[in-house]
Amino acid sequence: YGNFIDDLRIYVKGGTGGMGHPRLGGEGGRGGDVWLVAKEKTTLKRIKDRFPQKRFVAGAGVNSSVRALKGEKGTDCEVDVPLGISVTSCDGKQIGELNKAGDRILVARGGIGGCLVTNFLPLKGQIQTIHLDLKLLADVGLVGFPNAGKSSLLSKISHAKPQIADYPFTTVKPELGKIMYPDYKQVSVADLPGLIEGAHANKGMGHKFLKHVERTKQLLFVVDVSGFRLSSKTRFRTAFETILLLIQELELYKEQLRRKPALLAINKMDLPNAQDSLKELMKQLQNPQDSLHLVEKELIPTCTVNFKDIIPVSAHTGEGIEELKTCIRKSLDEEAEKENEEYQKEKLRILQTSE
């Protein structure tokens, strides 16, 4: 991913407690705690650059003394992390998630100060190595094989300026763009490194790509109307086969991904014979069962995806771009309305139950 980092291991240590005062029964201060705090405009790369040792240690508790029998608590250590972080311990146990600015997670508690229970000797703070895993938070995630034109499409619909070239795997790190609407509504779109066949089994960028799809609200499949071939050593796939393969890769990685609302952008409509290819594809999508006999059995997903809208576009000429932006907005608004209705129903149900 070049300079982009989406996972990081760090060492965290709570502060040691302060010494107690046995003669006067004084208690030492508790050691400081280590907290992770979600903050906007923070990146894992910035953490790594600023703290190359990746060690975060809280302050020790203050010793009990004749002047102050109760020692003060040690200074807490707060680590700013990006939004969308999943935190796990070194043994893979989930500690928590940080999705909104200001979210906090305690990752290392300080040791208690010396007191009667500890024979006035301080205890050490909690020590652990934790794993920070970033999953991009975006409204829309672009899903497609290399060279489907995702980067070109992102540059057309948003203000992003991704690297674009005429060979596969141009995108080697996630790109985020924002679609700006006349009513000032902003929709974030993530262009993620291209999938390849076998991505669910971690081939290519495999899980590095797929984990980012998990946090998007909806998916935008992007396929080349004329089909796809990664290299001379791989098989040519028609647009219909490409769609089935994309669905299968998502399904095999995590089944609930195919339940996300999805749109389909059929790209490169400026190519010769694109209209004929589009007619054939639409016929196959309307009655997929009639065309499955043309596809190898192992490429067929368990269930197909019902696309909310299918939009023919050309990232090169701009054809269909405005319609695509409208469909994205409409789909997101419908889902938000549905979520709000479900939330109101749940609130009403809780109210009726409590009565």
Same domain, 153 and 297: yes
Q: Answer for the pair 221, 243: CB distance below 8 angstroms, yes or no.
A: yes
Same domain, 301 and 236: yes
User: Could you say which DSSP state residue 251 is in?
Assistant: H
Report strand pairing: 85-89 vs 77-81: unpaired
Mean pLDDT of all residues in 86-101 = 90
Q: How far apart are CA 85 and CA 297, in angstroms?
A: 38
Q: How far apart are CA 63 and CA 256, in angstroms?
A: 53
**Residue 50 in domain:** yes
Question: 198 pLDDT exceeds 80?
Answer: no
Q: How far apart are CA 130 and CA 5, in angstroms?
A: 16
pLDDT at site 160: 57
Boundary residue ending a domain (118, 134, 150): 134
Same domain, 193 and 322: yes
Give the structural domain span for 20: 7-134
Q: Which CATH number do you get for residue 260?
A: 3.40.50.300
Q: Which two tokens stand for residue 43?
A: 């990146």
Q: Which residues pair with 29 in a beta bridge?
A: none
Q: How far apart are CA 263 and CA 308, in angstroms?
A: 6
Question: 192 pLDDT exceeds 80?
Answer: no
Same domain, 101 and 170: no
Question: 120 pLDDT exceeds 90?
Answer: yes
Amino acid at 18: G
**Residue 355 in domain:** no
Question: 88 pLDDT exceeds 90?
Answer: yes
Q: How far apart are CA 262 and CA 327, in angstroms?
A: 11
pLDDT class for 321, splitting at 50, 70, 90? very high
Boundary residue ending a domain (65, 100, 134): 134
**Residue 153 in domain:** yes
Minimum mean pLDDT among 14-28, 207-221, 323-337: which range?
207-221
Same domain, 180 and 106: no
pLDDT at site 117: 92
Q: What would the pLDDT profile of 202-227 be if each residue is shown by its tens digit?
A: 444 444 567 777 778 899 999 999 98
Same domain, 128 and 144: no
Same domain, 109 and 68: yes
Same domain, 155 and 175: yes
Q: Which residues pair with 221 in a beta bridge?
A: 143, 264
pLDDT class for 136, splitting at 50, 70, 90? confident
Q: What is the torsional sign of CA 73, 42, 100, 106? A: negative
Mean pLDDT of all residues in 297-313 = 83
Specify the length of the chain in residues: 355
pLDDT at site 347: 84
Boundary residue ending a domain (134, 167, 183): 134
Same domain, 314 and 332: yes
**Residue 2 in domain:** no
Our count of domains for the chain comes to: 2
Same domain, 164 and 300: yes
Minimum mean pLDDT among 31-35, 146-150, 152-156, 338-342: which range?
146-150
Question: 288 pLDDT exceeds 70?
Answer: yes
Same domain, 106 and 235: no
- With a CB cutoff of 8 Å and minimum separation 6, the contacts of 99 are 38, 83, 84, 137
**Residue 348 in domain:** no
Neighbours of 321 (CB within 10 A): 17
The rounded mean pLDDT for the chain is 84
| HEC-encoded secondary structure of 4-19 | CCCEEEEEEECCCCCC
pLDDT at site 355: 64
Q: Which CATH number do you get for residue 125?
A: 2.70.210.12
pLDDT at site 313: 95
- With a CB cutoff of 8 Å and minimum separation 6, the contacts of 138 are 176, 188, 189, 190, 215, 216, 217
Same domain, 196 and 270: yes
**Residue 345 in domain:** no
Q: How far apart are CA 118 and CA 64, in angstroms?
A: 14
Q: What would the pLDDT profile of 223-267 be if each residue is shown by its tens digit?
A: 999 988 766 667 788 899 888 888 888 888 777 777 889 999 999
**Residue 354 in domain:** no
**Residue 21 in domain:** yes
pLDDT over 90 percentage in the chain: 46
